[in-house]
Chains A and B, each alone.
Chain A
Amino acid sequence: MISSLLEKRLIVVTGKGGTGKTTVAAALGRAAAQNGQRALVAEMGFGEQLPGLFGRKEPAGYAGCEIEPGLQLMRIDPYEALAEYLGLQIGVRGLVRRVLANPAFHQFLDASPGWRELITLGKVWHLEQMRDENGAPRFDLIVIDAPATGHGLPFLEVPGVVLSAVRSGPLHRHAGWVEEMIRDSSRTLLLPVALAEELSARETSQLVQRVKDHGTIAVDRVVVNAVTQLPFPEELRDLDRHLDAIPADTALEGLPNAPVLAACARHLRSRYELNRRYVAEIAEVTHYPTVVVPYLPGGIQSPAALDRVADALCPRESAAAA
């Protein structure tokens, strides 16, 4: 039995675009808040998707907003994080403001690799370190909706690169703190989100292999999202063949004719079988348990849908035991 996700301090949810990792991140935050924890879900990237999942139109921004009791949302903007960081480092506010306003500096930043990732992770570290007036962590659980596409892992590798490229000074020290947080398997977990499809299965196994090879961050399970369920009992899986045997011109009192009924059943069955095969394949190639989140018809933009995802991620028993 794998431990509850809610026992972690920091969960980095990763996956290619379209796998639903933002939904998974939001559902985790909601599960934690409902479990009485103080949770923060942070996204990066351009638009904000998190507030919409909770039915809110206004963006949460860098300052964040409390969307539900115990659940904070925010978007980590690298420029704002940089301003905050430089302010803390340099102290001279006027200097920082002038530098940040300098167009040449912006041009330099726009093309420079790595700093966005580093400053974003630095902000995550800062959030993780925050304490309330009683000295307890400000957030019990921080969930990061990591950038989409293939950059998911290099994102977490940036601090290590900086450590090897910059050998001393404040930047080296700070990257070291971030690196320590990422590698601490007692606090931190990478949660890959995959789809039950060939490409996604392969990408996920590559990701997991790379994490293992580099020892970048702990992984202990893979989420397989949007898995098609059979809307009828398993023992009737040959339903399409039974329906196909009915003469096509049989009148069915307003129902679609038999070949159409058969095609509907067939489509669902073959998607279901295909999905099941890839779930098995993901478990086999990654050697990790899979957490299956069912496909939710009608979309995920409702609290009820988020709760169903949360239930799949954090079954009530283990949430209660945590």
Chain B
Amino acid sequence: MSRQLEALILSKRIVVCLGAGGVGKTTVAASLALVGAKLGRRTLVITIDPARRLADALGVRDLGNEPAALSREVLDTLDVPPQGEIFAMMLDMKRTFDDLVERFAESTEARERILGNRIYQHVSEALAGSAEYSAMEKVYEVMESQKFDLVIVDTPPSQHALDFLEAPQRLLEFLDSPVVTLLVHPAFSAGRFGLRLFQRGIQRVLQVIERVSGMGFLEEISNFLLEFEGMSEGFRNRARKVRELLVGPDAAFFVVTGPARLTSDPASGFLERLREAELPLAGILANRVRAWPGGGPCPAEVPEARHGDAARSALTHALRATHGDTFPADRACEAAIRAASHYASLVNEDQIAIASLREEAQRQGLLWHAIPELSTDVCDVDGLREVAVQLMKDPRDPESAK
């Protein structure tokens, strides 16, 4: 068992997985939850968008906005001890944001007006990273409930690295900004411009917006923001608490990355932003790294050319000895060498792709794991168990440290 991972999983209360889309973040988050449960913890995994068959395999088809427990039957197949539990939930971001409005609205009428506001309906999905904000809001809610020993968070894929973390701040800055302050000024929404009361810069800004958009639009925004204003104190408090939780001793961040096969991998960007934000980075998990079979070192190239003839005749001979004279041993031999040579180049490609991240992890003393690509999809209990096994291996063991 990897001591470093074990210590983290046993001592932290919240583990956040960051990474670009398509690196298998959801799978890694689910596997970390499994590691938690195997260590006897009551673990919740909050996912954004689980693979459908993964959810099916876990028996949580109706994954909703509230935690659902995995059945004991499934836990048994995953070798989870009796005291360990796994809960899973899928975040419905729009609903979470609506829930927030319900909670913080000053009155039933105000709530109805906000939820019914055309602008709100259009922007609630996009407003100041409300999706990311909602994710963190939900995390805070489950942490506050004290129902779980460990919460694993699969964050929304994001181009902007730490959007989810900065979202609360951005939302508050927006609500506090002079333009918005002016827009929520009652004189404005009543249609009477109290422009003189405000600094000239803001006047100009409003002039420009008005000239381009027309007065009616600003008025509608104003009405919306006016309703929102009453809630901002609630938002402000929550946002501060979410931030405190994430920078505190109970939290750990993992950067999940895949070998950059198709696109420049933004993992190093994530590392930098985490450092800037002074967040507790705990480790880097490289997912779906193709590994050389049998655990030995990957040959730089399969000696197709160098030992060509001798190797070919040895393999052809072995194939013929095993399968008889009618077997197309020559062609199978050719194919086997080509497959091995092809696969070796893929393995080497991945090793090169992850090399700099591995060095970075070593330099910073971070947990580092390269999770080998499985030959099948990780869409079932077996796949998940296998990833968890890989995660729990001691990274100093050469086989998993590669």
Residues of chain A at the chain B interface (Cβ within 8 Å): 16-20, 22-23, 45-47, 49, 52, 86, 89-90, 95-96, 98-99, 102, 104-105, 107-108, 110-114, 147-150, 154, 161, 164-172, 195, 197-200, 202, 225-226, 231-233, 236, 239, 242-243, 245-247, 250-261, 263-268, 270-271, 274, 297-300
Contact = CB atoms under 8 A, between A and B. Distances in A.
Q: Lowest 8 A-B CB distances belong to which pairs? A: A18-B22, A169-B214, A111-B174, A263-B293, A113-B126, A232-B335, A17-B21, A264-B343
Given A102-B201, A148-B159, A169-B213, A197 B377 contact: yes
Nearest to A96: B208
B248 interface: no
Contacts of B264: 47, 49, 52
Contacts, number: 264
Interface in B86-112: none
Given A18-B22, A236-B335, A114 B123 contact: yes
A111 B127 contact: yes
Nearest to A114: B126
Given A252-B311, A254-B306, A255-B303, A18 B346 contact: no
Interface stretch (B28-36, B71-79, B315-323, B387-395): B315-323
Interface string B339-370: 11011111001000000000000000000000
B398 interface: no
A99 B315 contact: no
Nearest to A255: B311
B263 A226 contact: no
B216 A200 contact: no
Contacts of B213: 166, 169-171
A198 B53 contact: yes
A18 B327 contact: no
Nearest to B306: A254
Given A107-B174, A202-B52, A254-B311, A233 B335 contact: yes
B229 interface: no
15 contacts: A17-B157, A99-B204, A104-B177, A108-B174, A111-B127, A113-B123, A113-B126, A167-B214, A236-B328, A239-B339, A243-B332, A245-B323, A256-B302, A265-B335, A267-B373
A23 B262 contact: yes
B174 to A, nearest CB: 3
Contacts of B292: 260
Contacts of A167: 214, 216
Given A107-B174, A169-B212, A170-B212, A255 B302 contact: yes
Given A265-B336, A268-B339, A198 B311 contact: no
B192 interface: no
Contact of B212 (A86, A110, A270, A298): A86
